[in-house]
Amino acid sequence: MDSNALKAFLTIVDQGSFSEAAEQLHLTQPAISKRLAALENQLDTTLIDRSHRQIRLTDSGSRLLPHARKILDEIHNARISLSPDSGSLEGELQIIASHHIGLHHLPKWLRRFKREYPQVTINLQFMESDAAYEQMRKRNAELAFVTLSDSMLPNFRVFAQWPDPMAFVAGADHPLATLKKPTLADLAQHPALLPDTSTSTYRTVSRLFLEKNLPLHPLMPTNYLETLKMMTSVGLGWSVLPLRMVDESLKVLGVKQPVTRVLGGIGLTDRQPGNAAKALLCIVQQEEDHPE
């Protein structure tokens, strides 16, 4: 089986479109269609149903899908095993970072990485953590730096991790800011500014309120923590934010229940990181083990 044909098949499935798959692989649409047709002829079966406007896998295509990913992962791993362990690193490194990590962690990593490995080109995408997991599943990056999820699938591997302590906060003029020792019951009387219900932060906070049988009143959810910080600072509600984001515009509320999350760098269990990825992970762990 030709690896380029398998790559074309997977990209069509992941992109959900022949034209978008062609763009992703820098091919013309006839060229990517030809690769798929060659694979189908070799296997003597139809893999993708072309009779609908949306891409649909046939039964054969569904059965081939996990094997195709595994084959390409093994080819990738073989190339990694044959690459030299020493010498100057070069080439491209594709990574994904959540917006929060991109603002508050990534700059110091990349400054050091570019200083030590100037021949490596970083291709960087920013997106929410949930979207990053999906892009990693499609092999669209080698590493992703995200909020680690308590529901992370076993095909993901954590290469580096560090705690990200958080705090209950409110604006300086918010009524909660005047309380010496506010409780969750006090917070329950005011709107909460929290990320989406699908996030680990929301689930952690929601669990605390459920355990106390208290209502939670989320207002205008957004996964952009900088936006939550702004809305909190002007008094629209209370929030839970990483301690590193707290400044004079916010008042830390002395709520007893601690909240933390774990950030980390992930890859795929069956796909080995290359030398450039390993070098970046080493820098990440060193920097986060000894933060300034």
Q: In this structure, are 75 and 100 located in the same domain?
A: no
Q: In this structure, are 122 and 163 located in the same domain?
A: yes
Cβ atoms of 173 and 251 within 8 Å: the answer is no
Closest among 147, 187, 186, 171 to 248, alpha carbons compared: 171
Q: In this structure, are 188 and 256 located in the same domain?
A: yes
Q: In this structure, are 189 and 116 located in the same domain?
A: yes
* CATH at residue 249: 3.40.190.290
Q: Is the pLDDT of residue 86 over 70?
A: no
Beta strands 120-126; 91-97: pairing state: parallel
The CA R_g of the chain, rounded to the nearest whole Å, is 23
Q: In this structure, are 56 and 101 located in the same domain?
A: no
Q: Is the pLDDT of residue 238 over 70?
A: yes
Domain boundary among 82, 112, 147: 82
Domain boundary among 63, 82, 101: 82
What pLDDT score was predicted for residue 205?
Answer: 94
Residue 150: band (very low, low, confident or very high) from pLDDT cuts 50, 70, 90: confident
Residue 220 lies in a domain: yes
Q: In this structure, are 221 and 282 located in the same domain?
A: yes
Average pLDDT, the chain: 92
Average pLDDT of the residues in 252-279: 93
Residue 254 lies in a domain: yes
Residue 257 lies in a domain: yes
Q: In this structure, are 173 and 260 located in the same domain?
A: yes
Average pLDDT of the residues in 222-230: 92
Domain boundary among 39, 63, 82: 82
Residue 98 lies in a domain: yes
Q: In this structure, are 60 and 164 located in the same domain?
A: no
* CATH at residue 9: 1.10.10.10
Residue 260 lies in a domain: yes
Q: In this structure, are 108 and 76 located in the same domain?
A: no
Q: 């970046």: which residue's tokens?
A: 280
Residue 191 lies in a domain: yes
What is the extent of the structural domain holding 66?
3-82
pTM of the model: 0.85
Residue 220: band (very low, low, confident or very high) from pLDDT cuts 50, 70, 90: confident
What pLDDT score was predicted for residue 87?
Answer: 62
Q: In this structure, are 164 and 24 located in the same domain?
A: no
Q: How many domains does the chain have?
A: 2
Residue 179 lies in a domain: yes
Cβ atoms of 32 and 12 within 8 Å: the answer is yes
